[in-house]
């Protein structure tokens, strides 16, 4: 009798994980930065007017180039101590000190003559047009639209034409 109960218990234990696995597929856990515990990748902006982009995460590493555009959106893809590995819209990147970066959300306009609408609807009045490459401050984003502010003008733009808006691609 004990053997039967033991065999039944082993059978149930073997079946239980298989039953759980078929109920719902596991969602992949969002990767978190080991230093900040913030999601990776994520968007930030350049706080300073200039920022050195280094080959590695320390001041002893060579400077590959210098970003010279305040508020430019960047994507953080890795962390190491006080350093963040960032990439720009073109995928060029390197390591920057965290003090040069801000959590303020900005976006780069990716469409020439992008219409800024009065409300998040393509049928509403166009307030202004933005040139490709302009940096916009991001407000609220919902349903594929983002509120943006460019040179004091506020309007709504489709998220698809703003690099730095929405969830970054891994």
pLDDT in tens, 49-87: 999 999 999 999 999 999 999 999 999 999 999 999 999
| Residue 15 parent element (H or E) | helix 2-23
Query: What is the per-residue pLDDT for 152?
Result: 95
For residue 17, what is the DSSP state? H
Q: pTM of this prediction?
A: 0.79
pLDDT digits (tens, 9 = 90+) for 130-161: 999 999 999 999 999 999 999 999 999 999 99
- Choice between 46 and 27, residue whose per-residue pLDDT is larger: 46
- 24 — pLDDT class (breaks 50, 70, 90): very low
Round to whole Å and give the CA distance between 67 and 141.
27
pLDDT at 25: 44
Per-residue pLDDT, averaged over 11-30, amounts to 47
The predicted structure's pLDDT at residue 3? 54
- pLDDT confidence tier of residue 5, bands split at 50, 70 and 90: very low
What is the C-alpha to C-alpha distance for residues 75 and 140, in angstroms, rounded to an integer? 19
Range with the poorest average pLDDT among 5-9, 83-87, 91-95, 98-102: 5-9
User: Cα dist. 15→2, 9, 26, 29, 35 in Å?
Assistant: 20, 10, 18, 25, 40
The answer, yes or no, to whether the previous bond of 41 is cis (omega within 30 of 0) is yes
């Amino acid at each position: 009798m004990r053997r039967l109960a033991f065999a039944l218990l082993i059978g149930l234990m073997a079946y239980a994980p298989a039953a759980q696995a078929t109920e719902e597929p596991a969602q992949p856990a969002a990767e978190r930065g080991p230093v900040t515990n913030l999601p990776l990748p994520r968007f930030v902006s350049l706080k300073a007017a200039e920022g050195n982009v280094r080959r590695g995460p320390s001041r002893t590493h060579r400077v590959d180039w210098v970003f010279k555009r305040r508020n430019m959106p960047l994507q953080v893809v890795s962390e190491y101590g006080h350093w963040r590995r960032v990439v720009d819209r073109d995928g060029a990147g390197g390591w920057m000190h965290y003090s040069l970066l801000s959590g303020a959300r900005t976006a780069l306009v990716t469409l020439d003559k992008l219409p800024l609408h009065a409300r998040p609807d393509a049928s509403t009045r166009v307030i202004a047009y933005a040139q490709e490459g302009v940096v916009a401050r991001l407000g609220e984003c919902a349903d594929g639209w983002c509120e943006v502010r460019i040179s004091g003008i506020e309007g709504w733009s489709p998220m698809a034409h703003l690099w730095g808006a929405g969830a970054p691609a891994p």
